[in-house]
Amino acid sequence: MPQKKRSLTERKSNEQVPPQSTPDGQKPKRQCTDVKTQLDQDSFTGRYEYVCTDQPPWAESDSEDDDDDDEEGEEEEDDEEEDGQEEIDVHGEPLSDHPNCKWMMLKECFDLLDDLATDADRRCPDQFGMYVHNDFYGYGMMEVLENMLRAFDNEIKPLSGKKANLQQMWAILTVLAMFLCRDVSFPWSMVDDGERYEHLIAVSGCAALTALNELDRVGQLKKDSRFLDLGHVMAMFLLWSKTATGMTVEGRIRHDPYDDDDAELEMYEWVGPLLAYAAKADIDLAEQRVSGIDKVLKRTTVGGLRGSAKADKWDWTATIRGLLAYSWTASGSTSVRRSAYMLTAD
């Protein structure tokens, strides 16, 4: 019997060595040291191997490429016809076997996308021949999105006895970006609770900045990062920002990594710092082959990063707490993975 698939929030991180106590008066070591050491030891294999994917819907079309690229593509097509060869489908195959493949993601993303599609279908009344109310599916998509953010939070702030898993964190963020850029996510933007909608946008943007801060802390925010799709994921969030509204986040931004009291309540739009992270990594988002972001790049001012990388730099803990304050749980449910809008065939 095939093994039952794990849900998005049920995926476990690796075991962690119990933390050592520190003498009185000494500050504990920051977690990033352990996470960086672990990441250096981890290999991008198995669930975290990079694999090739099909061209996504938001990919630049041939008409957006320059004339030289078009001519080059025509020459390559002619060569293939002369050789009698057809384009090979490499979807799902290891990137190491096809190093010239332009589209890639962690293998773990495939399972997460399958889970996401299932969760979305189970909240769609049309799949069951039902009509509930106009916003039911939209609120169901909100629930799916919130569950993804909770799963992300579980990797950023793992339970006692576990350790942060940056590879799993990145897989979840990648799928989150893909979800936000696809048509299936649009119904949640049409619900009648505009305040909750805008807050969810802010939390999603804060998640992107938090993940980039974590990569910065372990030295992986760079052009040759081990996270090979770093630029593409940032470009997807930038693409989504074209249609998102209410991107302002309120958080207590820390400037001193060791002083919890050194934090100022600030309002900021997450797109500016996102561009600042791309600049710091020396990644040109315009070269990520994501269609439609040129205008966003021209009209958006690169924001500041407010000091060096540090734990909870963007006040993620308080931001996600605000999201968790919303009651989505069905009566009697104690599950972290909310299912108030999940339909069944019974």
pLDDT in tens, 299-339: 888 887 878 888 888 989 888 887 766 544 433 333 335 55
Secondary structure in 3-state letters for 6-53: CCHHHCCCCECCCCCCCCCCCCCCCHHHHHHHHHHHCCCCHHHCEEEC
Whether residue 273 contacts residue 303, with contact meaning beta carbons closer than 8 Å, is answered with yes
**pLDDT score, position 8:** 52
**pLDDT score, position 160:** 58
User: Does residue 91 lie within any of the structural domains?
Assistant: no
User: Does residue 174 lie within any of the structural domains?
Assistant: yes
pLDDT in tens, 164-177: 899 999 999 999 99
Residue (of 270, 299, 302) closest to 283 by Cα position: 302
Higher-pLDDT residue of 18 and 197 is: 197
Q: Say whether pLDDT at 345 is over 60.
A: no
User: Does residue 24 lie within any of the structural domains?
Assistant: no
10 Å CB burial of residue 26 (0-12, 13-18, 19+) is exposed
Record the pTM: 0.79
User: Does residue 101 lie within any of the structural domains?
Assistant: no
pLDDT band at 344 (very low <50, low <70, confident <90, very high): low
pLDDT band at 252 (very low <50, low <70, confident <90, very high): low
User: Does residue 244 lie within any of the structural domains?
Assistant: yes
User: Does residue 160 lie within any of the structural domains?
Assistant: yes
User: Does residue 309 lie within any of the structural domains?
Assistant: yes
Work out how many domains the chain is built from and give that number.
Answer: 1
pLDDT band at 20 (very low <50, low <70, confident <90, very high): very low
How many Cβ atoms are within 10 Å of 23's Cβ, its own excluded?
A: 5
Name residues whose C-beta falls within 8 Å of residue 258's C-beta, 6 or more positions apart in sequence: 27
Backbone phi and psi for residue 296, each to the nearest 5 degrees, phi listed first: -65, -40
Residue 152 belongs to domain spanning: 29-46+108-324
pLDDT band at 254 (very low <50, low <70, confident <90, very high): low
pLDDT in tens, 104-134: 999 999 999 999 999 988 888 877 777 777 7
**pLDDT score, position 151:** 93
**pLDDT score, position 343:** 61
Q: Say whether pLDDT at 281 is over 90.
A: yes
Q: Which two tokens stand for residue 73?
A: 């593509």
User: Does residue 73 lie within any of the structural domains?
Assistant: no
Q: How many CA atoms lie within 13 A of 142 on its CB side?
A: 29
Higher-pLDDT residue of 4 and 189 is: 189
